[in-house]
Amino acid sequence: MRLLQTSVALCALAATAVTAQQGNTTQPANPPPAGGNSTAPGVSCGVQNDWNRIETQAQLAQLVGTNCTNILGSVLLAGPGITDLTPLAKIESVQLSIDIASTNLRTLTGLGNLKTVGENLFIHDNAQLSNVFGLNSLTTIQGGVLVYQNPQLVSIAGLATMTNINPDKSPKFAFGISVYGNPVLAALDGLQNLKTVGNVVIISNNTRLNSLDNLPSTGPFPVQSITIERLPVIKTLAPLSVFTSAANGTALKVTTCDSLTSLDGISLASVTNLTLTHNAALADVKAIGNSKIAGPIVQVDDNTKLCDLSPVQTAAGGVSGAQILNTCGKPQQQTGGSSTAGGANSGGFPGGPNMPLPGSGSFRSEAGFTLVTAAVGLLGTVFAF
């Protein structure tokens, strides 16, 4: 149930476009969906502009009836009672979002005619899902694709027909590509044919992900934020070179990637927030030297091999309150920091003593994290105005 709550929170975000609830549309013959802009011809079913919550195969059969090709509103296929998607074999479009959550599905067989999703595609917390094969026709997601917390998911290669995520670059969709918490996912194959990617890229906490290969390669793709986090095996960020800064810059977070030695591949002209923390092997941040970091957040902490900070310092030169702490195995400086931040980090003043902090590595890491989190909280407040 905890997992479902996550879903609800995300769905609430995803459903911001919902404005009015219409009555139930019970399989009318060839309707133009009232009040909507569905371009789908054919038969529609489901509740317009609302979630159709489906928890059993019987409910699924009832939703789609015999001839439905277009599901109105959003559809939540949730729980262990969902074991077979073949009743959806005629579905070509979902007007808003489709959320496949906590089911007992092993694959997505049954969605072979689905071509378009009007908002987001969520695939999460499915205990037995090992791949997403079955999506043989999917080309366009108007919002984002979120694949998360599927404990047995090895491959997303079934997404390979997909060419467009948020092709209109609509700011209302906060998700672009979000793939996180899939502990046995080995590769990102499946994303390679995208021609648009939306506003946000999050690849996080996929602990066996070998590389970022098969992110799309035909950019440039301007994005508002990139999060690369808890990927202990990846060795290079080179595939990120297709992502460029959005008009307002890009927030960049690279954290807890234990095998990563350099930031090579980052090619962002304008960075808003920068977070580089807990990367045990990161020694080379030259790639960030080509960026202009505008802040408000610059947080560099606990990268024990990172000794040449000059690219960050150059790029972040004008940022007030930059937090550059405990790197190269020692406390470091803060550039132009507020007195609050300085006070929070004893020994972290510019020109301060280059002493290792006491305690074990993990103690240092935790302590550093706490300090920075506290400081960032305050800075966030200061710079919010």
Between 187 and 231, CB nearer to ligand NAG? 231
Helix or strand run (H / E) with residue 74? strand 74-78
Helix (H, G, I), strand (E, B) or coil at 154: coil
C-beta separation of 159 from 136 below 8 A: no
Nearer to ligand NAG, 224 or 303 (CB): 224
Question: By C-beta, is 113 or 161 nearer to ligand NAG?
Answer: 113
Q: Residue 25 or residue 161: which is nearer to ligand NAG going by CB? A: 25
Buried-exposed string 197-219: b where 16+ CB fall within 10 A, e elsewhere: bbbbbbbbbbeebebbbbbbeeb
Which of these, 61, 192, 182, lies nearest to 126 by C-alpha position? 182
Least Å distance, CB 207 to ligand NAG, is 7
* Backbone φ and ψ of 314, nearest 5°: -65, -50
- Shortest distance (Å) from residue 269 CB to ligand NAG: 15
- Nearer Cβ to ligand NAG, position 24 or 139? 24
Closest distance of CB 67 from ligand NAG, Å: 4
Least distance between ligand NAG and beta carbon 376 (Å):
6
Q: How far is the CB of 344 from ligand NAG (least distance, A)?
A: 16
Closest chain position to ligand NAG (CB): 251
Q: Which is nearer to ligand NAG, 359 or 380 (CB)?
A: 380
Written in H, E and C, the secondary structure of 197-258 is ECCEEEEECCCCCCCCCCCCCCCCEEECEEEEECCCCCCCCHHHHHEEECCCCEEEEEECCC
Strands 243-245 and 140-141: unpaired
Q: Which residues make Cβ contacts (< 8 Å) with residue 79, sequence separation at least 6?
A: 55, 101, 102, 103
Nearer to ligand NAG, 65 or 343 (CB): 65
Q: Which residues bind ligand NAG (CB under 6 A)?
A: 23-24, 36-37, 47, 65-67, 149, 181, 183, 205, 224-225, 247-248, 251, 272-273, 296-297, 380
- The residue to which tokens 């930059």 are assigned: 322
Residue 384: count of CB within 10 angstroms of its CB? 7
Minimum CB distance to ligand NAG, residue 351 (Å) = 28
- Work out how close the CB of 352 gets to ligand NAG at its nearest, in angstroms, rounded to a whole number: 26
